[in-house]
Amino acid sequence: MSIEVESNEAQEIKVNLARVSRKVEQLEQQYQRKVGSVRVLAVSKTKPLSALEAAYSAGQRAFGENYVQEAVDKYHALAHLSDIEWHFIGPIQSNKSRLIAETMHWVHSVDREKIARRLSEQRPDDLPALNVCIQVNISGEDTKAGVTLSELNDMVALVAELPNLRLRGLMAIPAPQDNHDAQCAVYEPLAQAFVELSKSDSMIDTLSIGMSGDLPAAIESGSTMVRVGTAIFGERDYSAKA
């Protein structure tokens, strides 16, 4: 029998995950949200397999990745952890859509018709429908991906028609704001659109907003899935990747 020694990295991730889930629970109570109604997606982009394995050992199952090749490599490398739920949350180039359709369980960043159509066409028949969120641009910046709120209804109608996609909700990455009230103000129209949408379709249950820096505002605004990277895995070192 061997004695397993947890690395420092693994211990830290375990402590961080526990801290994040306590924080989420406290915020659910503070903002009169049902306890357990906000899921934590662990955003593991740029982090090594050992970090994901540590989070998995601590009970985390939903992981979010931003870069297609990295996501697919991790999907294959961790295939033995067969109950991981893989979420793709990054920008999608159309020539990479097949890799996503063949591996991921969720895509949060569906932001145009061409991508939605390709993901549905390329989803293998032996896999369940791909869960998708439509990414909405709520900051009005030209550079940010996502449909505008005025384009949302058309995109919803399109995704609803595609046989191998299952529309689950909306996602947004707002521009950073100075304070809680400003963060909530930016989320407000999105939150309203989500409430309307979820009334029309019982499968629509996911509002993917909130990152390490704005959990209170996101949870007050109705988030059902926060995407947390830094607060779980620590700062990202992009220089190591390039």
Ligand X SMILES: *Cc1c(COP(=O)(O)O)cnc(C)c1O
Q: Does 227 bind ligand X (CB under 6 A)?
A: yes
Which residues make Cβ contacts (< 8 Å) with residue 136, sequence separation at least 6?
A: 146, 147, 148, 149, 152, 170, 171, 172, 190, 193
Residue number with CB closer to ligand X (156 or 225): 225
Classify residue 142 by its DSSP letter: T
Least distance from C-beta 229 to ligand X, angstroms? 3
> Among residue numbers 63 through 122, which ones bind ligand X (CB under 6 A)?
66, 89
* Near ligand X by CB under 6 A: residue from 42, 43, 136, 207: 43
Task: Pick the closer one to ligand X by CB: 41 or 84.
Answer: 41
47 near ligand X, rule: CB under 6 A: no
Q: Are 59 and 40 in contact (CB under 8 A)?
A: no
DSSP string, 18-66: HHHHHHHHHHHHHTTPPTT-SEEEEE-TT--HHHHHHHHHTT--EEEE-
Binding region for ligand X (CB under 6 A) out of 115-123, 136-144, 175-183, 225-233: 225-233
Stretch that binds ligand X, among 20-28, 113-121, 142-150, 223-231 (CB under 6 A): 223-231
Which range binds ligand X by CB under 6 A, 47-55, 144-152, 180-188, 208-216? 208-216
Q: For 172-221, give the secondary structure using H, E and C.
A: CCCCCCCCHHHHHHHHHHHHHHHHHHHHHCCCCCEEECCCCCCHHHHHHC
The window from 28-36, 145-153, 177-185, 207-215 that contacts ligand X (CB under 6 A) reads 207-215
The three-point CA angle 63-147-176 to 5° equals: 65
Site membership for ligand X, residue 225 (CB under 6 A): no
Q: Which is nearer to ligand X, 67 or 164 (CB)?
A: 67
What's the residue count for the chain?
Answer: 242
Nearer to ligand X, 127 or 180 (CB): 180
Question: Which residue carries 């995407």 as its tokens?
Answer: 227
Q: Which stretches of the chain bind ligand X, using CB under 6 A?
A: 43, 45, 66, 89, 173, 211-213, 227-231
